[in-house]
Chains A and B, each alone.
Chain A
Amino acid sequence: MSDQGHLIQLQVIWSRLIAAVEEQARSLIRAGFSTSTREAGDVSAGVFNTRGEMIAQAVTGTPGHINSMARSVKHFLAEYPAATMREGDVYITNDPWKATGHLSDLSVVTPIFRAGRFVGLFACTTHVVDIGGNGPSPESRDVYGEGLFIPIMKVVDRGEMNESLLKMVRANVKEPVQVEGDIFALVACNDVGGQRLMKIMDEYGLEEIDTIGDEIFERSRKAMLDEIAKLPRGTWSNTMTIDGYEAPIELCAAVTVDETGVHIDMEGTSAASRFGINCPMCYTEAYASFGVKCLVAPHLPNNAATMACITVTAPEDCIANASFPRPVVARSTIGMFLPDLVFGCFEQALTDRVPAESTGTLWNIRLGMASEGGRKGFMVTTFHSGGAGARPALDGLSATPFPSGIRNVPVEVTESITPLVIWRKEFLKDSGGPGRQRGGLGQVMEIGNREEAPLTLYARYERVVNPARGRQGGQSGAPGRLTLGSGAKLKAKGLQVIPAGETVIIEMPGGGGYGRPEDRNAEAVAMDLRQGFISPEAAAEAYGKPGTGA
C-alpha cells in the first residue's frame, strides 16, 4: 500500500480502537451496580500495547481514572511479565498505589492473544458499592481499616474464575452479590474490547498492534507538544489553603513549561493527614494532569504519549503523595482541588483563559439510619455540588461540580428508596463570588426523616472555612455551612447525629468570581436581581449598583 493509503488505514484503525474502548466502557457502565458508575460513568476503559502503554481510552465521566488506570497496567506487567501470561488469564487489583487511589476501585486487566501470540491488553476500572472495612468513612488510621486489599493477582486462570478470591470478596463486603456482579462486568467488558480488536486485526490483516500504537503515539506527542509550545515558557507557583480534617492543609504547586512539556512540582505541600483524605501519587497525577490537559489541549485524546508530556512530582509522604499504608479512602478531597491549584499557576502566564476557583470536592450527602426493632435501616449516598468558578467570559456554572463530571441523584429516586424527605433544594442567593463574571451559585438542601428516628450524617465537606477564590479582582464565593433546622451549627467533617424530628440544612459553597465586580455589566446585575441570584443589598454592596427594586 502507498504511504498515502497508509495514513488512511492508520486513521481508520485508530478510530476503530477508540470505538472498541468506547464499547468496552459502555458495557461496563450498563452492567455496573454502584451509583457513581451509572450516574457519572465513573469507570475507565482502555487498550494497551505489549509494553503496557495506553493506546486509546474511552471518554468517560470522571477524570480521576484518566492517568491512574493507564499507569496501572505497567504494575500488572511488572508483577506478571508477559511471558507468564496465558490465554484466558485475567488479572485484578484494588491496590490504591498501583491502580486508582482507593480500595473501592477495582481494576481488571486482560491480556489479548492472537494465534497464540501476546499482542496487547485491555484494562478497565469501576467503583464498587462496598469493599468492606469502615466503608466511605475517612476515620481509619491506615488502609487496613478501609476494607479488603486485593494485591495484583489472577481473577481468571486460563478461563476458570478464581473461586477462592470471589469467596474472600463475598465474605468481606456488605453487598456481596453486587460486588461480584461488578467483577464479572469488568471481566466481560474487557472481553468485548478483545473481540473488537480481533475483528480489526482480521480486517486489516494485522499481526500485532505495537507498530500502529507507536504511530499513534508519535502523532499524539507532536500534537501535544505543538499545543504546549503555544504557552509562554517559565515557572509559576501557587498555594491554596483548604480546610483539612484535623488542621488546614496547604497545597503548593510550581508549574514549569519547557520544550519537553509541562512539569508540576508540589514541593511545600502539607504532610499526610491522620485521616483518609490522603492522596496516592497516581491519583494526584490524574487530577493535576487533567487540569493542564483541559486548559492546554482539551481536544487531544488521552494516551501514553499525550500523558507523558505532563509530569507531576511531590515530596515523599506529603498529603498529595501519601505512602503505604496511609488511609486514602477519601483521596478525592485532595485530588479534586488540584486542577484549581494548577490553574492558579497558569493564571500568571495566560491572559483570559483560566477560570476562577470552584467548589472542588463534591458535596455528597451520606445519611444513614440504624435498624431498630421492626424498622429497617439504610445508608445512602447522593451526589451534589456547590458552584463552579466564573470563566473569563462566562459566569460560573451554578450547582455544578468541577473537576468531577458526576451527575446528581434525583430527589424522587432518593426518596423512593429511603424514608428521607428533601424539603427544599434550591440555589443559594448571593453565594456566587461577585465579579465581572459571577461565580456559580451554591445550593441549599434541607433534609428530614419520615421515620421518628435519628439520622447519622457522614460529613466530609470542604470550603467551609476557605471559600473558592476569585481571579483578576473577582471575589470569593460564599463558604459552605451545615446547620440543624432548629439552628444549631454542625461540623463540616465527621459523623454527626440529626435528632428525630429534626432536619439538616446543607448550604453548599459558591464558585469564585472573575474580574472586578464593578466592571460587571449593569444589565447582567439587573438580570441577576430579577432571577433572584443576588439580593438588592449585594447589588449595591458588591457591585456598586443599586437594586432595581425588582
Chain B
Amino acid sequence: MQQNAEFHTRVEHAIANGQIKASFRSAMDGLMAKRKAAFPDPDVLEMLRHRGAQVRANSLSKLPELLERLEKNCHKNGIQVHWAETIEEANNIVLTIMQNHQAELLIKGKSMVSEEMELNQFLEQHGIECIESDLGEYILQLAGEPPSHIVAPAIHKSRQQIAHLFNEKFPDIPYSDDVDRLTRNTREILRKKFYAARVGLSGVNFAVAETGTLCLVENEGNGRMCTTVPPVHIAVTGIEKVVEKLEHIPPLLKLLCRSATGQAITTYFNMITSPRKPGEKDGPEEIHLVLLDNGRSRIYEDDELITTLRCIRCGACMNHCPVYARIGGHAYGSTIPGPIGSILEPQKAGLDKLGDLPTASTLCGACAEVCPVQIPIPKLLNRLRYERTRNDHTGATLGQSSGRTVMEAGIWRSWSWVHSQPRLYRTTLYLITRLRKLLPQRIGPWTQVRKAPQIAPKTLHELALKEGFNDK
C-alpha cells in the first residue's frame, strides 16, 4: 500500500510519460464508444440503472441476513464457505486448502479481491506457484506489475511492449508482435498449467443468496477452465457481492457487460452452484468460497458511504474519468484505481494513507453519470474530503481528521468570516479592485500554465448600485 506523498510523485511521473496518456486516452475512447453503442436508448438506460441501483441497495440493506442465507444455501449445494475478516485470514484460508491437497501450483482466473489480498506474493512465500490465466493478468505477472484497470488490467501496455516482454521471458519462442500469435503462444503455455494445477482460483461477480450460486463473468474461457479443470476450486470475493435472488442477476449482468465493454453479454457466463455430483462427467470435486471483509463492514456502518459497496466493478467510471485518462491506474497506488477506487480504497486503508485520492477529482460528475448502479461518486468524494479535514471525531471512517492542517483550516476560517459579513466583504473587494494593479501577476501553480485572471476595476455590487438595481 502506497501513501499520500508518493501519489504526487507518481502523478508527475505519469504525466511526464507521454506513452501512458496516449495508451489510456485511446483505450478509454474505445471503451466509452462501445458503452455508448450498447445503450442506444437513454430512457431504457436510465430505467436499467435505476433497477441496478435498487437491486444493489436492497442487497446491502439486508447484508448480514443475505450472507447467512448464502452460506446456508452454498452449504446445502456442497460449497464450503469460509469467512475472513482480514486479508491475512483470507490468505491463510487459501494456503490451508492448498496444503490440504498438497498443491504446489495455483491456476488463477482474474480476481481483484486476490489482488487486494496480494495472494500471489503470499503463496509464493510459502513455496506455492501462482499462474494468472487471464491474458492481461498473465502479461502483468510476467512484467511484475499490478493491474492498471479493473477490467482491462494491461491496458497501459502497447502491443510492442508485450511482444518484447514475451521475447525476453520466452527466448525460445520466435518473436512476434501479432496479437493472434501472442495469444496462441500464451494459450499453449497456459494449457499445460491448467492440467497440472490441483487447485484453481476465481473471483465472483455476484453471489446469489437464495440459490447459493456463484456467478462469474469472463471473455476468455480461462475462468471456466480454472473453475472446472482442477479438482479443487476456490472462489474469493468481498462480502458485498451478494444479491438476494436469482431474478436480480439479469439486470445486473446486462448493466455490467454493457457498461464495461459494450457487450450484450460476455463470451462466458458461469453460474456455479455445486461441485461435481455423482455421475457427472466434469467439474471440481470441491468448491470453497472465501468471503472477505477487510474493512467492508466498517463502510457498511455509514448510511451514506454504504453506497460505495453497490459497485459491480464494471470500470465505466474510470473509462469516463478525465483524471484517470491522464494519470493511468498505477498512479493511484491502490488496488482499484479511478473514481471508484478513490472512494473505496481510502475508506479501506484509511484517509491517513490514501486521503489524497478523493482530492484528485474536479467533481465533474462524468463517473456518476455512467455508473450502472448510480453510486453518487462526487458526493462521496466530497464526504471523504470532509472526513479528512473535520476536527471532531464521530463515525467509523478510518483516518478521520488526518488531513487537517493549521494553515488550511485558518484560510477557510478567514474566508468564511469575510464571506458572512457583507460590509467586510464589500470593503475587501473594493480594496482588491482598487489595488489590482499592485497585485502579483504570478500566483503559485495557477500561473505556471495560465495568465493571472484580470481583476475588474469595479465589482458587480458597485455596477448594480450604479445602474439603479434595487437592493430589496
Do A and B interact? no
